[in-house]
């Protein structure tokens, strides 16, 4: 069944426009409470630093209370922290108010099960079915209560540190940490400092509207500039809610999720701790797949989205997977993508091998990828348009066996994402823009 409200990562949209309105979010809390929380159930709620988070937090709290469910409010916390703390607090449900890497005027709601995992499609469909019903309030003597927990950041900091090998430290490293003015601003710098690093923090002054604003993993130039200006050993950039991470070496070279996944996979293989193969997505660079093959490591692709990476990991009983956007799942430590934990695994490989970050990827040759987003109209589907399909076929024929074309719909915005991959960057750029031009012409003609 097609989902009505949920996208690939919860429910997301522009604040003040349906479904990101107080009335809908309050009903969403009621519906989710009835589906996922038992009588006298408990829910924890975290959020990123968007101004609209205050409004949506209050609406969710009211909805859960109306369903007879009590809430514990944690304030600004990274998405993966909510995953961890849902399990640690033995809550029935974890909720995050965030639009991740989107601008401040967007917001969204994500749910975690009591196991700390994203909800499966069937549960989201059950919530949607409940939303379409007339919901009744719990009796007055059975309404939920609300509490605030102030020590959540410290608990999560200690958890992150526990994923870094105890006999290693970061004493000899100068690290720039870019928190995107988002949910990691008050936890990530402390994690690396307490492990011994000399930390230079940027993007740690959120004001409600500057989240992801020319900082963080979606705007890595700020990190690159800071690494070079401070002669740092490494730079780490998170997105607004802290589940993505990108890194920069001491020369200012940017390493995406594919490169970081390769580093972690190779290090674990050398330590005999890999436990199976690696899961990527349809967007994973062909160069990573070939490099893993050279190491004798199995590789499988899932649909785009960390929830689908997780499904493929569980189906194969594997432990490591991720996306080139920087979502990396280390199932031996976490049950969702965690930017801080993933960065620590890369730093662990650096310290264990006593080498620079660049040395860990010297034998990884990623193929050039051209990525373009095309905003579309609701009544036009490029994936079904004859002209677009024919142009994609022509490009694929010209690329042959050394390239790929991928068109997919965004799960959070009215966009078509074009990806062309090949051995020659000029050719991939040209062919991606050929497809882009055809989509624009056909879209304007609708």
Catalytic positions: 100
Place of tokens 């660079």: 285
With 0-12 / 13-18 / 19 or more C-beta atoms within 10 angstroms meaning exposed / middle / buried, residue 381 is middle
With 0-12 / 13-18 / 19 or more C-beta atoms within 10 angstroms meaning exposed / middle / buried, residue 140 is exposed
CA distance 330 to 264: 9
Check: CB of residue 329 under 8 Å from CB of residue 265.
Answer: no
CA distance 417 to 404: 14
CA distance 97 to 183: 10
First to last CA, the chain: 27
Overall residue count recorded for the chain in this entry: 446
Neighbours of 8 (CB within 10 A): 17
CA distance 415 to 216: 22
Place of tokens 């002669």: 231
In sequence order, what are the residues at sequence separation of 6 or more whose Cβ sits closer than 8 angstroms to the Cβ of residue 54? none
SS3 category, 77: coil
CA distance 113 to 441: 44
In sequence order, what are the residues at sequence separation of 6 or more whose Cβ sits closer than 8 angstroms to the Cβ of residue 109? 10, 11, 12, 25, 28, 56, 60, 95, 96, 97
Examine residue 19 and say whether the peptide bond preceding it is cis (omega within 30 degrees of 0). Answer: yes
200 is written with which tokens?
């230079």
Phi and psi based region of residue 242 (left: phi greater than 0; alpha: psi -120 to 50; beta: remaining): left
Check: CB of residue 302 under 8 Å from CB of residue 312.
Answer: yes
SS3 category, 50: coil
Check: CB of residue 112 under 8 Å from CB of residue 89.
Answer: no
CA distance 398 to 195: 51
């Amino acid at each position: 069944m097609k989902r009505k409200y949920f996208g690939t990562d919860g429910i997301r949209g522009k604040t003040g426009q349906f479904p990101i309105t107080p009335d809908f979010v309050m009903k969403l809390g009621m519906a989710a409470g009835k589906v996922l929380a038992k009588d006298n159930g408990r829910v924890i709620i975290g959020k990123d630093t968007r101004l609209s988070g205050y409004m949506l937090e209050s609406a969710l709290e009211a909805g859960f209370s109306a369903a007879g469910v009590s809430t514990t409010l944690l304030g600004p916390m990274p998405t993966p922290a909510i995953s961890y703390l849902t399990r640690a607090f033995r809550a029935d449900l974890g909720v995050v108010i965030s639009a991740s890497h989107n601008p401040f005027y967007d917001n969204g709601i994500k749910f975690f099960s009591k196991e700390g995992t994203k909800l499966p499609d069937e549960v989201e469909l059950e919530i949607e079915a409940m939303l379409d019903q007339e919901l009744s309030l719990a009796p007055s003597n059975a309404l939920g209560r609300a509490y605030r927990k102030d020590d959540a950041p410290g608990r999560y900091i200690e958890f992150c540190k526990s994923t870094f090998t105890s006999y290693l430290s970061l004493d000899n490293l100068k690290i720039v940490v870019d928190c995107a003015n988002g949910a990691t601003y008050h936890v990530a710098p402390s994690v690396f400092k307490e492990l011994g690093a000399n930390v230079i923090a940027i993007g740690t002054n959120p004001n409600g509207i500057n989240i992801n604003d020319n900082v963080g993993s979606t705007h890595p130039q700020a990190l690159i500039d800071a690494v070079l200006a401070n002669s740092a050993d490494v730079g780490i950039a998170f997105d607004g809610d802290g589940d993505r991470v990108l890194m920069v070496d001491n020369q200012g070279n940017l390493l995406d999720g594919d490169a970081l996944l390769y580093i972690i996979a190779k290090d674990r293989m050398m330590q005999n701790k890999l436990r199976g193969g690696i899961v990527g997505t349809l967007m994973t660079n062909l160069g990573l797949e070939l490099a893993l093959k050279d190491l004798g490591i199995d590789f499988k692709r899932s649909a785009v989205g960390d929830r689908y990476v997780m499904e493929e990991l569980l189906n194969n009983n594997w432990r490591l997977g991720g996306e080139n956007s920087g979502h990396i799942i280390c199932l031996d430590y976490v049950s969702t993508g965690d930017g801080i934990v993933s960065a620590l695994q890369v730093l662990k490989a650096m310290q264990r091998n006593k080498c620079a970050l660049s040395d860990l990827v010297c034998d990884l040759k990623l193929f050039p990828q051209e990525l373009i987003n095309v905003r579309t109209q609701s009544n036009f589907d490029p994936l079904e348009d004859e002209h677009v399909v024919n142009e994609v076929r022509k490009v694929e024929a010209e690329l042959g066996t050394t390239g790929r074309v991928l068109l997919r719909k965004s799960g959070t915005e009215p966009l078509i994402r074009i990806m062309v991959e090949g051995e020659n960057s000029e050719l991939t750029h040209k062919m991606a823009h050929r497809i882009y031009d055809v989509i624009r012409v056909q879209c304007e003609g609708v």
